[in-house]
Amino acid sequence: MKYNRLGITDLKVSEICLGTMTFGEQNSEKEGHEQLDYATDHGVNFIDTAEMYAVPGRKETAHSTEKIIGSWLAKRKDRDKLVIATKITGPSAGITWIRKPLDFSPASIKTALDGSLKRLQTDYIDLYQLHWPERKANFFGKRSYIHDANDPWVDNIYEVLNTLNDQIKAGKIRHIGISNETPYGMMRYLEESAKNGLPRVASIQNPYSLLNRTFEVGLAEMAIKQKVGLLAYSPLAFGLLSGKYHQKKDQPTDRLNTYKEHMVRYKSEQCYDATDRYLKIAQSHNMSPTQMALAWINTRPFLTSNIIGATTIAQLEENISSTKFEITEEIEKAIEAVQNDIPNPAP
């Protein structure tokens, strides 16, 4: 397992990060613990969650993922060897049961953080992330920015960083990150931290896969030059890039079948056509589609960690094995040919 530096911090995180949003929804506590054991036994030291998980967000399963990780952490004696990341939920009209109000005010940050610490059964969070912006912007499948003159958001980046700094001083947080952000958002956080001596964002967690390379448009250069590395989520496009849907090996319980209304960004004809071509590239180079899709992401110069998710140990094993595969120049050229013909079909 390769380990990369988290931003300009002193933390080293595994190239593969275990995403856990299925814990409490598609995976039981026992299965979650088995995945955590397997991942850490194979070199993964980085675990990502959020206060709103499991996904999709439902009142009945809210906070369940953190609780499952917490019951696992409570049995271990190597907390200092692990990097635990979680997130505070941003504004959303559809999940108000998580916390009221859903914002990044000082009171909300304290409430959310204390709740996560309690559920995770830990004294500190290694990486505390803002799950999505408070302002109206293009994220979660929105390809283009459409300005809303009635957006009530008033720039509070300084206040947010100052509040997070207080929590760092209190020993509850080690480092901070942003998620589902735009170049404007990253710029503002970096600007305020530099100007006021406040904590600097160490990472940005955004979607990135063979079907969604929009990160490369405005954020890749910033990530490299500003040393705010990408934590890539949905690297398999919710399983589409595994090939199981094309090969008719999918099950009714698989994500794209179970949560159709939540995963529309992966349901287009263009997504299926591009995926079909990627599957043929993998097959011609004796790789599974999953291994090729993940191994390709692992080669990106702006990547800090690749967040994989699984519902079975077999899937987890295949995902982690991607670190052993090489993306040759021939494979790279073939992948670029598909991207040129069908660019970013899943925004």
Q: Which residues are catalytic?
A: 53
User: Beta 229-233 vs 303-308: how paired, if at all?
Assistant: parallel
CA distances to 98, 123, 177, 191, 258 from 202, in Å: 26, 20, 5, 14, 34
- Residue labelled with tokens 């990150």: 177
Size of the chain in residues? 347
61 vs 103: CA distance, rounded Å? 21
CB environment 225-243: b (16+ within 10 A), e (fewer): ebbbbbbbbbbbbbbbbbb
Query: Whose CA is closest to 44, among 87, 85, 88?
Result: 85
User: Beta 3-5 vs 12-14: how paired, if at all?
Assistant: antiparallel
Q: Which residues are within 8 A (CB) of 199 and not within 5 positions of it... i.e. 6 or more apart?
A: 161, 164, 165, 168, 175, 176, 193
Sign of the alpha-carbon dihedral angle for 74, 76, 81, 86: negative
CB environment 44-64: b (16+ within 10 A), e (fewer): bbbbbbbbbbbbbbeeebbbb
Structure tokens at 60: 């009945």
